[in-house]
Amino acid sequence: MKTLKLQDLKNLDNQDPLSAYREEFYLPKNIIYFDGNSLGPVPNKTKENLNKTINEEWGNDLINSWNKANWINLPQALGNKIAPLIGAMAGEVIVVDSTSINLFKVVSAALRLNDNRKKILSELTNFPSDLYILEGLNGMSDNQYECVLIEEDVNDIEKYIDSSTAVVMLSHINYKTGRISDIKKITKYAHKKGALVVWDLSHSVGVMSMDLHNIGVDFAVGCTYKHLNGGPGAPGFLYVHSDLVEKVTQPLSGWLGHIDPFAFDSKYIPASNINKFICGTPSILAYKAIESGLDVFDEISMEQVREKSIHLSEVFIELIQQECGEFGFELFSPNDAKHRGSQISYKHENAYPIMQSLISRGVIGDYREPNILRFGISPLYMRYEDIWSAIICLKNIMQSNEWNSSNFKVRNYVT
């Protein structure tokens, strides 16, 4: 294999059709950001949008803005902006609550539809909140479910799906390994056995294309603060297939999910559309940040984003081998790009201090238990040259033993 040089990467940047999108973001100087799969950076337009909302809509127009600025319809309007990114139709997606709460609502809705079945399937290495929600949900009813968490590769889950399976609940991209689950294959098989599916798209939305509606996916949820750059703790989204929207019900029956909230009726009658998944009042400032995060995607082809994500990742893996091969980093993500999402994870016995040392030098990735360095790949603002600089920085840290300083061994609460 040819040795890669900095100039090769500069050439790739010059040929990159997405390079102009970097200008859409506020990226601090001397930072190389590999944590867009945890918290995306601030889109420049977000600052303007929030200023306008505070000064004009909230400031001058006060409560009139619920009608005048259409605040009240933001959950549906932003849902419709996410829809094309995940292959959903208008009216199938809504931005509301957090991903964890949305999961509670859609899994509950699925269980109510499949109420003669008792098994829920997921994987042991699914994001913990997803598993905790299942646990909590199960603890609420006398009607206990059997939660089966598989330990083998999720793409082998089919042998566990049978006529007792109510719901299969999985992540599209695993948060630790970055492994992609085959949505189409698993959904089709689950349906053949009469089970419903719930997909967590938190790590895939904004970095790869999807086709949820045509595949027939029943339910999905996802975060907006990762690759959609919606801001820290931004509300999540949920998707319900149009064939199910009318008939499903969910337990968090708040007033804005009512068919006619401003009738202030004492009896709850759910909306017949996706609005039934709204519970309480949307947090408008947070929605406005998501709005401008989504605007960046208006003209972008997800196929192009995926292509660049794969290429950046291949260069990253190749450069780690070339420059850091002697330092004991073990690729934990799938080696085959087809099975790998937009992140690269490495195992290393000193993963925590190495990551802290990198962060202190402005190369920001993150750490996951027990020994994983995680590097998110964000094609909209990442340059090939950044990969070079980051890996040379890692090489220096390893060669100089800088990571071994006691400063880098002190655990932060958020890793």
Ligand X SMILES: Cc1ncc(COP(=O)(O)O)c(C=O)c1O
- Please say which residue, 65 or 202, places its beta carbon nearer to ligand X: 202
Residues 6 or more apart in contact with residue 364 via CB below 8 angstroms: 31, 32, 33, 34, 35, 358
Compute CA distances 201 → 143, 223, 246, whole Å: 28, 7, 23
- Please say which residue, 28 or 233, places its beta carbon nearer to ligand X: 233
- Structure tokens of 347? 């195992």
57 close to 273: Cβ distance less than 8 angstroms: no
- Please say which residue, 4 or 228, places its beta carbon nearer to ligand X: 228
Shortest distance (Å) from residue 224 CB to ligand X: 9
Query: Which one is catalytic: 374, 375, 381, 408?
Result: 374
Burial status of residue 397 (CB atoms within 10 A of its CB: 0-12, 13-18, 19 or more):
buried
Shortest distance (Å) from residue 285 CB to ligand X: 17
> Is 340 annotated as catalytic?
no
Residues engaged in binding ligand X (CB under 6 A): 98-100, 127, 129-130, 171, 175, 200, 202-203, 223, 236
Query: Which one is catalytic: 119, 176, 226, 308?
Result: 226
- Please say which residue, 75 or 353, places its beta carbon nearer to ligand X: 75
> Is 225 annotated as catalytic?
yes
Shortest distance (Å) from residue 31 CB to ligand X: 21
Query: Which one is catalytic: 21, 25, 127, 219?
Result: 127
Cis peptide before 282 (omega within 30 of 0): no
Shortest distance (Å) from residue 236 CB to ligand X: 5
Shortest distance (Å) from residue 341 CB to ligand X: 11
> Is 408 annotated as catalytic?
no
Shortest distance (Å) from residue 132 CB to ligand X: 10
- Please say which residue, 230 or 379, places its beta carbon nearer to ligand X: 230
> Helices in 238-383 by DSSP H: which ranges?
242-245, 284-295, 302-324, 351-360
- DSSP for 9-56 reads HHHHHHH-TTGGGGGGEE--TT-EE--TTTS--EEHHHHHHHHHIIII
> Is 374 annotated as catalytic?
yes
> Is 264 annotated as catalytic?
no
Task: Give me the residues paired with residue 287 across strands.
Answer: none
- Please say which residue, 229 or 357, places its beta carbon nearer to ligand X: 229
Query: Which one is catalytic: 104, 225, 287, 329?
Result: 225
- Structure tokens of 100? 């964890």
> Helices in 73-174 by DSSP H: which ranges?
74-86, 99-113, 128-140
For residues 235 and 100, give the distance between their C-alpha atoms in angstroms, rounded to a whole number.
10
Active-site annotation, residues: 127, 200, 225-226, 374
